[in-house]
Structure 1
Amino acid sequence: MTLLAVERIKLFTTRSPWWCALVALVLTIGFAALIVGNSNEIAPATVASTQFGYSFGMAVIMVLAALSVTTEYRFGTMRTTFQAIPHRGSALIAKTTVVALLSLVIGEISAFGSLGVGMLLKPNADLALNSGADWINVAGVGVIYALAAVIAVSVGILLRHSAGAIALLMIYSLAVESLIQLIPTIGEKIYKWMPFNVADKFLTGNGASNAGRATGDGAPMSTAVLGQGWALLYFAAFAVVLLAIAVTVAKRRDA
């Protein structure tokens, strides 16, 4: 608990988490207002369409998570941390836990905030959470944000440089997975197992929360072959394995 308290203090005494949280909320809720505000009888507002901007908010969350590590390496405070806590794994896991919990909270606020804005803009639309698919599409955003934060912290530990870590995370999550589909013959097969594509499958399932509207107007439909539960486990396993690799590397090199 002491390590968690220390990491919480270190995180919240810097400005970047506050700014990143604000930007993530503005992006996700802003996109919800834009999509729902432009809905009509032909393309009605749905629970999924209120979550259209979650991927943009997730990108900001990963920036926040990466910076929580790389700034410590940049200013040398990580060396002090490792001197005070010889067991580097404990310190890094505590940091990851704090960042993941913050990301979970931001994700839930942004998801339910987006849904609330949709209800305000279109009070007659069917935006009630009437099914498990609806609940997962909204409440699941925070879970995905938390796991994405674990991935970003891991990349930050491995690279130790803010620009490099952020560039890699943004390029991969926003472009690389989609571009893999262009590989002849095997591209589509590989894409079905890409982590962020699988994460989308957890949120959207078979599209039940987007009924009545074009799938492109909600959270992205996934081509992953796993069911929703297995998709979450797959994404979580990817995050945990990457963190384990990062912690192992951190233990073996100079701070």
Structure 2
Amino acid sequence: MSLVRAVRSETTKITSTRLWWVLALIMVGYVGLCAGGLGAIFGGLGTNTNGPVLPDAQIPLLIYSFATSVGYVFPVLFGALAVTSEFRFQSLTPTFLAIPRRGVVLTGKLITLFLAGAGFGVLALLASMGAGAAVLAGFGIDPLLGDPGTWAFVGRSLLAMALWAAIGVGLGTLVPSQVAAIVIVLAFTQFVEPLLRLGSTITDWSAQIGQFLPGSASDALVGSSIYTAMSGTAGVALEWWQGGLVLAAIAAVTTLIGFATSWRRDVS
């Protein structure tokens, strides 16, 4: 089957380079440091006479959510680079010769990167839950690792990271330039969207619009986020399944537009 061959080909491509484990290593260190650091802050505040800032039952998921709230940029980058590198090094030429149906090739790439994004999610959660739970337990706060709600949160987080990788594929298809794709990802995730989310909290109508931003939708899907807790916009957040649909729609729209434009052009 052509699709199976495409998935196998894409799997070989992404596992035969150092990109995936370099990004994963940076992500694990970054997420683990953030989760452990905030866990220590909340744990330390809990020992003061004024009490913790949040109830103990809300703290663990807030700490664990660093896997997605700061880690999502890595599967997006990975998905975008997996596509743009094909244009840069013209490796699409032999791929299209082996599998002439370009739609099948792109579908195979989406499936492969979707699964890879879930793999990034596993690593990010191991970092945030490992560091966060250890620190919280050290301060006498129940890490809630045996709570069913925690594991529902884990499942939603994996889905969010997988969808972010698919969005990266869509972006890479839409913007074939590797440098431009990197700049767009970093500028939007680290600067533009945080400002938009902050600005959307000013009025009720802007908050209703802001909930459809990709980061807000991701936080709604996961169910917990340091950004949501800081902004206090939980009252206008989407339902978890609505957040998932927003992310899936962004991935689908960018991929379809990219397929209709750059993906169908000559690459030789």
TM exceeds 0.5? yes
Give yes or no for contact 1:70–1:162 (8 Å, CA) kept in 2: yes
Instruction: Kindly provide the CA deviation profile for residues 71-119 of structure 1, in whole angstroms up to 9, marking residues without a partner as x.
Output: 1111111122122221111111111211221110121232143212222
Q: 1:179/1:110 Cα in 2 relative to 1: closer, same or farther (>3 Å)?
A: closer
What corresponds to 1:198 in structure 2?
Answer: 217
Matched, 1:241 2:253: yes
What corresponds to 1:142 in structure 2?
Answer: 158
Give yes or no for contact 2:27–2:124 (8 Å, CA) kept in 1: yes
Q: What runs of 5+ residues in structure 2 fail to find an aligned partner?
A: none
What corresponds to 1:232 in structure 2?
Answer: 244
CA distance in 2, matches of 1:9, 1:191: 39
Matched, 1:103 2:117: yes
Structure 1 length-normalised TM: 0.84
CA distance in 1, matches of 2:66, 2:12: 33
- Name the % identity: 25
Q: Which amino acid in 1 is paired with 2:100?
A: P
Q: Which amino acid in 1 is paired with 2:30?
A: L
CA-based RMSD: 2.7
Give yes or no for contact 1:197–1:223 (8 Å, CA) kept in 2: no
CA distance in 1, matches of 2:165, 2:260: 18
Equivalences for residues 1-255 of structure 1 within 5 A: 1-38=4-41, 39-40=43-44, 41=46, 42-43=51-52, 45-52=59-66, 54-123=68-137, 124-129=140-145, 133-180=149-196, 182=199, 187-204=206-223, 215-216=229-230, 222=234, 224-255=236-267
Q: 1:100/1:93 Cα in 2 relative to 1: closer, same or farther (>3 Å)?
A: same
Q: Which amino acid in 2 is paired with 1:91?
A: V
How much has 1:47 moved relative to structure 2? 2.4
CA distance in 2, matches of 1:108, 1:34: 20
CA distance in 2, matches of 1:222, 1:81: 45
Aligned-partner SS, 2:70: helix
Give yes or no for contact 1:50–1:114 (8 Å, CA) kept in 2: yes
Give yes or no for contact 2:170–2:252 (8 Å, CA) kept in 1: no
Structure 2 length-normalised TM: 0.81
Instruction: Kindly provide the CA deviation profile for residues 107-153 of structure 1, in whole angstroms up to 9, marking residues without a partner as x.
Output: 12321432122222232312114655433433322211111111111
How much has 1:195 moved relative to structure 2? 2.2
Instruction: Kindly provide the CA deviation profile for residues 206-234 of structure 1, in whole angstroms up to 9, marking residues without a partner as x.
Output: x8xx9xxx9339xx965654212222222
CA distance in 2, matches of 1:25, 1:111: 9
Aligned-partner SS, 1:47: helix
Instruction: Kindly provide the CA deviation profile for residues 145-166 of structure 1, in whole angstroms up to 9, marking residues without a partner as x.
Output: 1111111111111111111011
Instruction: Kindly provide the CA deviation profile for residues 37-91 of structure 1, in whole angstroms up to 9, marking residues without a partner as x.
Output: 2323133542222323533221122111111111111111112212222111111
- Farther-moved stretch of structure 1 (117-126 vs 90-99): 117-126
- Farther-moved stretch of structure 1 (95-104 vs 115-124): 115-124
Give yes or no for contact 1:50–1:115 (8 Å, CA) kept in 2: yes
Q: Which amino acid in 2 is paired with 1:138?
A: V
Aligned-partner SS, 1:57: coil
CA distance in 2, matches of 1:239, 1:224: 23
